Amino acid sequence: MAAPEQVKARTDSPSDPCDRPLLSVVIPTYNEESTIGQVLQRVASAAPGVSKEIIVSNDGSSDGTARVLRDEAAAGRIVLEDSPVNRGKGAALRAGLRRAKGEVILIQDADLEMNPDHYPALIAPILSGDAEVVYGSRFAGRLWPGGSVLGFLANKTLVALTNLLYGSRLTDVETCYKVFRAEALSKINLACNGFDFEVEVSGKLLRAGFDIHEVPVSYQPRSHAQGKKVRWPDAVQAAWVLARCRFAPMESVLASQPEAEGPWAR
């Protein structure tokens, strides 16, 4: 599933066993010069004692993001997947996932909206064997986590549509914090290139029979003026993808050769 000769950014404590499960943190990045350095620092220090590799997929950034990432990669602190052109969040994620060696995979955005201090709570249900998929929910236990009213309504609409189509009881499908046992993720076929990746992976995991466990997380939303990139047409596209995945033939949902190619082969 992973490329050879991969550099690992680890945070092992001396008493940790060498065979402790490896956590692969995959970070898709596009023009996040103002936040990417802080995000990498916080990810590296999160969940002390957990073996981690940090994989950053630069999606054709045109600001100083690429320079920061090249420096981090040269220092051996991250694994860098670098695209010369912008292809979309889903494409960037699939490129990063191809590099992952960990038994557990966690998706982290390159902004500061979500707090890596939640890592222990997010991975605990997987490490204990109680779950194979965990989402960090911004809405669990609260009516409104902040942000724009339109963004809130779009999120709630997509959650309601997901639950209606798939019979689930989720509170958040667009959250950045999605954590998977690698074996579970390898069973589905992922093809979306944009923000619709979020609902594609959710719908296909549900179609494949996986339960999605939710953990409450904090959320510090930013505005479009501050760099937020998702727009209302992305919500429309996500609704279409949810419906398409629900009624698609199972052979298009499941990975045909999960061990040989992985779920992100396209």
Write down the residue that tokens 């510090």 correspond to.
Answer: 220
Instruction: Quote the tokens at residue 7.
Output: 């550099």
- Residues 6 or more apart in contact with residue 214 via CB below 8 angstroms: 134, 135, 136, 137, 140, 170, 171, 172
Note the pLDDT of residue 114: 93
- Residues 6 or more apart in contact with residue 46 via CB below 8 angstroms: 52, 116, 117, 119
Note the pLDDT of residue 4: 31
pTM of the model as a whole: 0.87
Note the pLDDT of residue 121: 98
- Residues 6 or more apart in contact with residue 266 via CB below 8 angstroms: 94, 189, 190, 191
User: What number of H helices and E strands is found in the chain?
Assistant: 10, 7
Note the pLDDT of residue 233: 82
3-state secondary structure 3-18: CCCCCCCCCCCCCCCC
pLDDT tens for residues 127-176? 999 999 999 999 987 666 666 778 788 889 999 999 999 999 999 999 99
Select from 100, 103, 90, 99 the least CA-distant residue to 200.
90
Confidence of residue 203 (pLDDT cuts 50, 70, 90): very high
Tally of CB atoms within 10 A around 258: 18
Amino acid at 84: P
Select from 245, 247, 238, 234 the least CA-distant residue to 188.
245
Domains located in the chain, CATH noted: 22-260 (3.90.550.10)
pLDDT tens for residues 86-122? 999 999 999 999 999 999 999 999 999 999 999 999 9
- Residues 6 or more apart in contact with residue 239 via CB below 8 angstroms: 157, 158, 161, 199
